[in-house]
Amino acid sequence: MVNATQLIFHQEKARDAASRLVKCKQNRISVYAISLSMRKFNIKITLVLVDNEEDEIYRPCHIDDLNCMRKFLASRRHCYPPPGRVPDPYLRDNSILNYVDFNITVININSKISGLNGIIKEFHVNKRTNQLVIAVWFDTIDVPTERSVVYHHRNGRVPIVTSDWSRIIYRRTLITTTTPLSPTIDFRYTVVYGYSEDGNPRYGFGSGINNHPSPIVHGNVASFMANIDLAVRNAFLTEARSYIRIFIQNVLCGYDVVL
């Protein structure tokens, strides 16, 4: 069905002609515009026809039916039976974050992540691209870390290293995955995108992160804190892949290959 139609007409026969034209456009169409001049009726008809993307979508399961989703995934790849929920908190040994805008790399050691039992918002197949789309909403992801090792990079020199505890909180986030079906599911080729609605991110760290005489360290930390919203968004884009992997492995499909 056409999403948007604009008709300008002055006579009844023109209305009938436009109606017949629209009814012929039931199949998938590209975005384009049509202008028709009909001298007989002394009118001009303008149609703006837009893709109906829903026609491309196949929903194999109801959005609340986890068992159906698990069966669908298991039919496309070998899945170990998942526990059903992510442990809360989820213990992660280490992770690496590269903050390229601030010339630092952070290695987080012993993080206790809470809030990874999200709500599935999308589970469908795009028939045109033959891709599985999974989107999961997380209200709050809290990541306290026992030790964050910060490498302050310098051109042509070894980095300056500082460390202390840290904590980052992501709020109102949506992680979307796109995985090709060919015909099996291979999560190694999954594209992941993370989006956060939070305009006031939470981030904190111990004084040891800034405890160094070098002005490079002080400058990096000051720049980081002055642009904390950018820093947290960059971190979430990196972490989103890890978070959705943990969710899928524990809720939908246990598998060995790291996403």
Q: Tens of pLDDT along 73-87?
A: 998 888 888 999 999
pLDDT at 233: 87
pLDDT at 11 over 70: no
Across the chain, what does the average pLDDT equal?
Answer: 83
Top pLDDT among 53 and 10 is at 53
Highest mean pLDDT among 1-15, 16-30, 70-84: 70-84
Question: Which DSSP string do the residues of 129-161 spell out, in sequence order?
Answer: TTEEEEEEEEEEEEEEEEEEEEEEEETTEEEEE
In the chain, the domains with their CATH numbers are 12-51 (no CATH), 56-252 (3.15.10.30)
Neighbours of 215 (CB within 10 A): 9
Do residues 32 and 4 lie in contact, with contact meaning Cβ atoms separated by under 8 Å?
no
pLDDT at 67 over 70: yes
Q: Tens of pLDDT along 184-231?
A: 888 888 999 999 988 788 899 999 999 999 999 999 999 999 999 889
pLDDT at 39 over 90: no
Top pLDDT among 37 and 254 is at 254
* Range of weakest confidence among 16-20, 25-29, 93-97: 25-29
Question: Which DSSP string do the residues of 38-80 spell out, in sequence order?
Answer: ETTTTEEEEEEE---GGGGEE--S-TT-HHHHHHHHHHHS--B
* Range of weakest confidence among 143-147, 179-183, 189-193: 179-183
What is the C-alpha separation between 231 and 22, in angstroms, rounded? Answer: 49
pLDDT at 63: 93
Mark out the alpha helices in 77-227 (DSSP H runs): 215-226
Residue 37: pLDDT band (50, 70, 90) is: very low
pTM of the model as a whole: 0.76
